[in-house]
Structures are given as structure tokens and as C-alpha cells.
Structure 1
Amino acid sequence: MANAHRRRHTMERVKISGVWLSEERTVRTGIVDAFHRLLTEDSEWKADIGGVNLNRISQQEANILELPFMEEEVHSALRDMNGDKAPGLDGFTGAFWQFCWEFVKEEVMEMFKEFHEHNTFLKSLNATFLVLIPKKGGAEELGDFRPISLLGGLYKLLAKVLANRIKNVIGGVISSDQNAFVSGRQILDASLIANEVIDSWKKEGKKGLICKLDIEKAYDSVNWQFLMRVMEKMGFGTKWREWIWSCISTAKFSVLVNGEPAGFFPSSKGLGKATLYPHICLSWEWRCRVLFFGGLWKGAASWDVEYRGVGGRL
């Protein structure tokens, strides 16, 4: 049964940018090159964020984020992790660290102490497998596969601890209309609110403008320098920003093609899929929305707007 499952999911050929690749070597090389391009920053354009005011966390909140890591805090995060998720390059699942905590806690806490004091950790902890999961049966194009990051257990624990810290303050700097990844809010609320707005317009005969923005692969498109400037504007301290920089800038990827690792390359943009990154991405996404809609409303003053109705397309 295992062999049949392997044959069924073997990628014998793949279409990348409209070109079919069928030889094993070219398939592996083509996939690695595609992801390397995806995770490489190739734009010199930098957004100007100097003129926009953002909500800020308090100095007390910034200081709390940078407190030394305590054993109970780390152990609590470890207990909350899903122990059965697939392991990364180190081969250890979360269940291993949970079961062996009493034996390994001194070494783990030493890692957290070094990270707190020197803002860094062993780069090998952030080595990541990318495994390609087909989104549908008969997947042929590379876009038909969903890349899943298999991170090492210790790095996932570090990301979990940082995520637990930032989620306590992120709600105060993110707009009230952002529903995902903020404690006490649900992503489905966005659809319900949009439906209510449209229904209200139609009933009252009001005019309005609806924008649907495509943010496909948003995590993979984040410019690191932009993210750092946003977090600084939001009041996050120097040490916290250096921690985040260490997390995002040390990642290296190897793509699993038919169960075998191919390539080993760094990234220069994007945030991956660690537990921490949805919360970090919120600050980046909210800043992008401020830039977009700020420019939109400034320009709208000179528009001669033609109302096309709620059902029209932009």
C-alpha cells in the first residue's frame, strides 16, 4: 500500500511558466529555481512610510516583549504545540520535546538565554524543508501544489513563544476591521460585514466603492526592510526587531521532490509559515492597506466618478 501511495503521488512531470519538464533532473532543477525566484527580493523600490501615522504600542508593552524568557513560559508554549506534526530537518517532532522536557530543558533554556542576550541562534535551527502537496487530483502545474514548510522543533518552539508574546499587544495597533489572527476576532466576520454593507447600500440606494485586492502569496512577498520600518513606526523596541530579523533572515530552504531534498538556498523576502509569522504579517499588511487607501483617497478628490452600481467590476 505504501508503494502504491508513493507511485500515485510521484511527480513525474510538471509545468512551470508554461513549459513542461519531464526528466527527473530538469524537474528537480526547475522546481528549485522557481522557489528560489519566489523567495528572492528583486525590487529596489522602497515605500515611503515617513508621512503616515500608525497606532503604536506603549513603552511598557515594548519592554514586556523583550523580557528574559522564563522556563514556565517556554514549557507552556511547548505543551500547546501539536506534537504529531511532521518533523523538519532535525527529525524530531514536537512530541519528542514534550516527552523529554525534563531531560532537555536546561539545553533548551540555554538556547533561549543566548537568543535573548545576543539576538541570534544556530542558523541550522532555521533550515526548512518545503514539501509540495497537490491542491487537487491530477495536479500538473507548479501552482497546483501547495508548499508546506517543515520546520525544526526548536525553531517552532521559539516562534511559538514569540507569537504568544506579540499576540497580547498586536490587537492594539491593528485596525478594527482586520479580522484574522487577532485574539477575539474571526476571519468570517469580514465576509459578514461586507455582505451587510452591500445590503445596506442596495436598500438605501447609496453609492459606494468596493475594492477586492488579490494578496495571493502574501507571506512570500513581504519585504523585510519594509517590515522592520513598519515595526519601528509601531513602537516595537530594537531588541524585538533584531529578534524578528534573526528569525526571517536565517531561513534556508530545501525542496522535497518525490521525497528527496533538492537545492539548499537562502531567501531574501517573505515570512514562511511559522506560528509567529501570521501575527508579524498583520503589521505589514495593515501598513500596505494604509499606503494604498491613503493614496486612493487623496487621488479621489480629483476624480470625476461614474457610479457603476454594486454589481459592476473595477
Structure 2
Amino acid sequence: RNQCQEAPSAEENPGNLIAWWPGFKRRLTSLAHQLSKVAQQRRQQPSPHTQEARLEVQQAQQALDATPHSPQLLQQLVDAQASLGRMHIEDNLRAAYKARIHWLHAGERPGPALTTFLQTPSQDQQAAPVALQARSGRLVTNPAQLPQVVADFWAEVCRAPDFTTPEDRQSVLTQLAAANIRLPEEADEVVGAPTITVAELGFALKKSQPGKAPGWDGIPTDLYRKFWPEIGNTMAALFTAIVKTGQVPTGFLDGIIKVLYKKGDPKQPGNYRPLTLLCSDYRLLAKVLANRLGPVLGRIISPEQSAFLPKRLIGASVLFLHHLPHLLRKLNRQGLLAFLDFAKAYDTVDRNFLLGAMEAMGVGPQLCRWTRLLLSNTRARAMVNGFKSRLVKMEAGVQQGCPLAPLLYLFVGQALFCWLKSQELGLRLLP
């Protein structure tokens, strides 16, 4: 509380607050480690009633040892042990109740995490990488070197893209602009507003799931939630200062890459799905922007796109595909359905193209400024089996693990959709 009160004023010099924040987080990280140890000790510590019952068992055992053939003392020991058993059951029920509260708060959401929990994974899926093939072709088995192999692989994937030409990119953007689907000016003023309010951050924090893995700083959102009355105003001033100055605190954009095995040869780094663990303060800022953008994005994203937007369900697309053959038969028409999957889709997004697509769809300079800030000079280090790599630059892509990333990717998908329509690819089924 005292440290937040001593924070530099963002009104006088926003840069001082930005420079002050990393040191404050280091002190907060130390506090997080201390609280984690205390919480672990408390979880392992039995309740006072259980401690009393355990003491009664010890006293009854000592009394019985002194008088081994006393039926009365033997019965006292049996009763004390039964009481201790009941106390253990109550402790377990109390822990289960707390877990249930967490479950009700986080909610049951279908996804890879729930699937992994319900299914028994194979041996390959359970094991962390023990050997990986480096870019040179050398097989690396040293545990301390494995993270660098992962980091180098994803840094290469996230290089500035050179597999398209400027002419091709401009052709797609031209068709996107020709579609004349633009974000209303009044909506853009709200979405890209440079001031981040405490209310917005508090709502984002409330909607954040507890127990999420923190980024490199080790600070979970639960800690911010605990001290929110003291931290909220400072964090809101910090984020407003970031867009005002165009600067971010040291390490603010850095992430930790952890990989999850998908399929194929486990020695190939590309057969693992990367998950970037970003710091909680970054995620809160990105979540505020996502909360602003999500409700209005449905106005400019075509209804064919059913993912990531409020009130749109992917089940609608599935249902459409089930009905499509019957509709074609009724219209006496034929068609070919192509299922395409973009390899490393999030990680290979051309950031300049993304910003161009946003501008073509009427997104104003303020939201583009926010986006450019969050996607500039991004770095990450990989972690495998507890070992970390060096920091590497990520020049392309939207970061998996960023709350804003799915919505930003919709601009890329919309650009592709408009270009496909301009090429008259596909079937028009209804007028």
C-alpha cells in the first residue's frame, strides 16, 4: 500500500511511472513467493480440531503403553482414533468445498484442458521433451540446451514474413477496403480510448480465471485481486501513460514459451504447440482492450466467421455443413468442400498486414496505436523441464495466450474472406 502511494505521478511525468513499475514488480514478486510459501504451509497444516484430536490420540496411546491391559484405556484410544478420522474427513470435505467454489467461479468450459483431464493421455503426451532436433539437424539431449532449441525454432517461425509479395498483400487489402465494411466512428472512439479506467481493469480482473499460470515475473492475477484497492489506481495510470508516451516498462512484452506435445515425431519442435505465458499486468491490459473490441467487432466481421465473437456459436457452422448437402440436392447443384488448416496461423501473422487490415476496416489510429504497442519488440524465452533459454525476438504473429490475439486474428480472416469473394470462389446458394 505504501509503495503504491509513493508511485510517481503520471500527470507530471508519465515516463517516471513507467520506469518505476519494474522495480515495484520485483518487490511484488518477492511478496508473491513469500505468500506462496505461507499458503503451502497452511494447506499442509491440519485444522485446530484435527490437531486436538491428534494430541488426544498421542495421550491415549501413552496412557495405554503405561497400562497395557486396561480395557478402559484401550477404548479411549479407539475413540480418540475414530475422532481423528472424522476430523480428517472434515478437513478433506472443507478442501473439496473450496475446490468446488473455484470450479463454480471458473466454470466448466470445453477445450483441450478439459479433454486432457478426462482422457488418459498416451505415454508420449505425458512425457516432456527429452530430445529435440536443432535447426542444424543435430539431436540435442542435454536438458539445459533443449529450451534454446525450442526458442530458436519459434523465433524462426516468427520471423518477419517474406513468403508473400507487397503486391499480393496490397491486392488483398484493396479488396478488403472495397467491401466497405467499416467500424463506426463512435464505436472506434470508445474502443481506442487512450484512458484506461480503474473500473475497466476491475471488470477484467473479475472475469480473469483464478489459478492461471503467471508470466516470467511470477505474479498471478490473484495477487493483484487481493491488493486491488491499493494497486488499481496505479495500474490504470500506468496503462494510460503507456499509450500516451508510446513506451512500455522493461520486460512488459516478454513471455515464457511452454510447449505441449500434439502429434508426430516428439523429437521435432514443430510437433509441439507453443503457449506463451504473459505477465498478468500485460494480460489485464489486453483483456480491457478485448472487452472493448469484442462487442463491436461483430458489426464488421462477416457472419460466416463464427469464432471468438459474442452471440456467435461455432455450432452454427457445423449445423450449416450438415444441411449443405441437402440444400445442394434441393437446388440440383454440386460443390466441393475444402477443409484447410493454416500451419502456425497465429505465429506467422504479418503485423504490418494486420494493421493495414484494421485501417481498411475503419479502425482508428488510437486502437491501431494500442495494437502496435503490444506487437512491437516482443521477446520470449522458452522453458523446458525447468530450464530456460535466452531471450529471442518474435518479429511476427499474435501471441498465443494474449486475450486480444483471437480478435486481432479475425481481421486477417476477414481480409482473406473478402479476397475470396472478389475472386468469385465458392458457391452463392441464396440471393
> Once the two structures are superposed, what CA deviation does each residue of 1:131-164 show, in whole Å capped at 9, x if it has no partner?
1122369944323322111110100000000000
Name the structure 2 match of 1:218.
345
The one-letter code of the counterpart of 2:141 is E
Asked if residue 35 in structure 1 is aligned to residue 154 in structure 2, the reply is yes
- Give the whole-Å Cα distance in 1 for the aligned partners of 2:251 and 2:317: 39
1:50 to 136, 161, 174: 174
CA RMSD for the aligned pairs?
2.5
- Tell me whether 1:147 sits opposite 2:274 in the alignment: yes
Does structure 2 conserve the Cα–Cα contact (< 8 Å) formed by 1:83 and 1:98?
no
Q: Which residue of 181, 186, 195 maps to 1:60?
A: 186
Decide whether the 8 Å contact of 1:83 with 1:95 is kept in 2: yes
> Relative to total residues, which structure has the larger helix share, 1 or 2?
2
Matched with 1:245 is 372
Query: Is 1:156 aligned with 2:283?
Result: yes
Q: Deviations over 1:189-218 (max 9, x none)?
A: 212112211232245531224232222321
SS at match of 2:255: strand
TM-score (norm 2): 0.63
Aligned residue number for residue 281 of structure 1: 409
Which residue is equivalent to 2:64? none
- Counterparts of 1:189-200 in structure 2, within 5 Å, are 189-200=316-327
Partner of 1:307: none
Partner residue, 1:271? 398
Q: Give 2:132's aligned amino acid.
A: V
Q: Secondary structure at the match of 2:390?
A: strand
The answer for the alignment partner of 2:239 in structure 1 is 112
Q: 1:295 to 1:191 in 2, by over 3 A?
A: same
**Aligned counterpart, 2:362:** 235
1:22 is displaced (CA, Å) by 3.2
- Show structure 2 runs of 5+ residues with no match: 1-125
Where 1:126 maps in the other structure, the secondary structure is coil
1:304 matched residue in structure 2: none
Work out the CA distance in 2 between the residues paired with 1:296 and 1:221.
26
Contact 1:89 1:128 in 2 (8 A): yes
Q: Displacement of 1:10 after TM fit?
A: 4.3
Secondary structure at 2:381 match in 1: strand
TM-fit CA distance, 1:271:
0.1
1:71 to 173, 177, 198: 198
Q: Deviations over 1:203-259 (max 9, x none)?
A: 553122423222232111210111111111111111210110110113211011221
Q: 1-side partners of 2:198 and 2:305: how far apart?
A: 33
**Structure 1 residue 26, shift from structure 2 partner:** 5.5
One-letter code of the match for 2:376? S
Change (3 A) 1:90 1:229: same
Letter in 2 for 1:30: V
- 30-39 or 116-125, which moves further after superposition? 116-125
- Cα separation, 2, equivalents of 1:127 and 1:215: 25
Q: Counterpart in 1 of 2:420?
A: 292
Evaluate the alpha carbon distance shift between residue 286 and residue 99 of structure 1 in structure 2; reply closer, same or farther with a 3 A threshold. same
Q: Between the two proteins, what is the percent identity of the paired residues?
A: 23
How many angstroms apart in 1 are the aligned matches of 2:425 and 2:271?
A: 37
Q: Does the residue aligned with 2:327 lie in a helix, a strand or coil?
A: helix
What is the CA-CA distance between 1:64 and the residue it aligns to?
Answer: 1.3
Q: What is the SS of the residue equivalent to 1:266?
A: strand
Unmatched runs of 5 consecutive residues or more in structure 1 = 1-7, 301-314
SS, match of residue 175 in structure 1: coil
Whether 1:133 aligns to 2:257 is: no
User: Any idea what SS the aligned residue of 2:251 has?
Assistant: helix
Moved more, 149-158 or 66-75: 66-75
Alpha-carbon distance between aligned partners in 2 of 1:188 and 1:18, rounded to the nearest angstrom: 44
Q: Give CA deviations for 1:57-110 in whole Å, capped at 9, x if unaligned.
A: 111111111332221111111111112111101110111111110121232122
2: distance between equivalents of 1:10 and 1:208? 44
Change in Cα spacing, 1:18 to 1:262, as seen in structure 2 (3 Å) is closer
Does the residue aligned with 2:224 lie in a helix, a strand or coil?
Answer: helix
Distance 1:202 1:140 in 2: 47
Retained in 1: the 8 A contact 2:256–2:382? yes
Aligned residue pairs total 293
TM-score (norm: length of structure 1) = 0.85
C-alpha separation between the residues in 2 aligned to 1:201 and 1:73? Answer: 48
Q: Is the 8 A contact 1:36 1:265 kept in 2?
A: yes
Range with greater deviation from structure 2 (144-153 or 173-182): 144-153
CA contact (8 A) 2:133 2:149 kept: no
Matching residue of 1:254: 381
Partner of 1:306 in structure 2? none
Does the aligned pair in 2 maintain the 1:54–1:173 contact within 8 Å?
no
Residues 218 and 136 (structure 1), Cα distance of their counterparts in 2 relative to 1, 3 Å cut:
closer
